[in-house]
Amino acid sequence: MRRVLRPLPAALLVLALIGIWELYVDLKGNSFSLILPPPHAVAKSLYTDRALLWSSFLVTAEEVLLGILVATAFGALLAVAIHFSPTLRRAIYPLLVASQAVPVAVLAPVLAFWLGFGLLPKLVVVAIVSFFSIVVTTTAGLAAVDPDLIKLMRTFDASRLTTFRHVEMPSALPSVFTGAKIAVAVSVIGAVFAEYTGSNSGLGYVILVSQPQLLVARGVAAVVILSLFAIALFSLLALAERLALPWAYRTPEYRAQSGPVVLERPA
């Protein structure tokens, strides 16, 4: 029974917020609903525009999924390189932080110029905005390995690489998942902005074109789908982590160590 009731508070809260939203738009009058459409109009658009929204969703979902995949592979590799070379860390960390400050709106046209208007430039944008959190959490995970464990491996005559393979890498895997989970929300935003610049499909494109056409409800419907997608993706990663690293949930050290990083709720 407990399990069944667990999503109840979230559902009630969402219902209450939708109620307030509906009332608010009602009170503000007709012209305001062109800026913020009432929930019932959004619901109607979700139904009537379902074909368009579904095909657009598939485009955006592909960009986000592939982007996160590329970011995870690249981010984890970079974290390992940084872990092995303090010089590289000092050289690359400032650039890494700076790369996150470049607005997607500036970046996207350049990428479109280089890579065209297809999937590739969007994928690159998603990867760029996502990989930062993965690099940071993975580097932290690699550095958090107990120094006594490293000493122990040395008394077993383990080489640097052997210690990495048997001790450091496995203990940093939960951090890779943590980074990917944090990346979910920004990756969706990244995909939308990438589609704003040079594309003719995807949910971001739907949002972009529905505003001048005064189809605001359709734009918000696209946002609703993006939000649900982010929740689904986050849950999927959490599930994958549980299946791949079941041990990580049973050690108090892990819970204590990742407490402030692991998001319990999708952002």
Partner 1 sequence: MVEAPPKEPRELKAADGVVVELVSRSFSTKRGRIEALAGMSLHADAHEVVAVVGPSGCGKTTLLELVCGLQAPDSGTVRAAPAALMPQRDLLLPWLSAIDNAGLALRARGVSRAQARKTAAPWLGRFGLERFEHTRPAELSGGMRQRVSFLRTLLAGKPVLALDEPFAALDAITRQEMQGWLSHVLESEPRTVILVTHDVEEAVMLGDRVVVMSPRPGRTVSEIEVTLARPRKRTDSAVVELRERALAALGVDT
Q: Interface residues with partner 1 (CB under 8 A)?
A: 146, 148-149, 151-158, 162-163, 166-167, 170-171, 245, 247-248, 250-251, 253-254
Quote the least distance from Cβ 176 to partner 1, whole Å.
14
Please state, in angstroms and rounded to a whole number, the distance separating the CA atoms of residues 125 and 111: 8
Identify which of residues 49 and 168 has a Cβ nearer to partner 1 in the complex.
168
Q: Are 68 and 180 in contact (CB under 8 A)?
A: yes
Q: What are the residues whose beta carbons fall under 8 Å from the beta carbon of 60, sequence distance 6 or more?
A: 188, 191, 192, 195, 202, 203, 204, 226, 229
Is 40 or 154 the residue whose CB approaches partner 1 more closely?
A: 154
Q: How far apart are CA 189 and CA 223, in angstroms?
A: 10
CB nearer to partner 1: pick between 85 and 251 = 251
Least Å distance, CB 48 to partner 1, is 50
Provide CB contacts within 8 A for 101, sequence distance 6+.
none
Least Å from the CB of residue 172 to partner 1: 11
37 vs 141, beta carbon nearer partner 1: 141
Candidates 250, 96, 121, 239; CA nearest to 180 is: 239
- Shortest Å distance, C-beta 146 to partner 1: 6
Task: Report yes or no: 209 and 262 within 8 Å, Cβ to Cβ.
Answer: no
Whichever of 170 and 266 has its CB closer to partner 1, that residue is: 170
Nearest approach, Cβ of 161 to partner 1 (angstroms)? 11
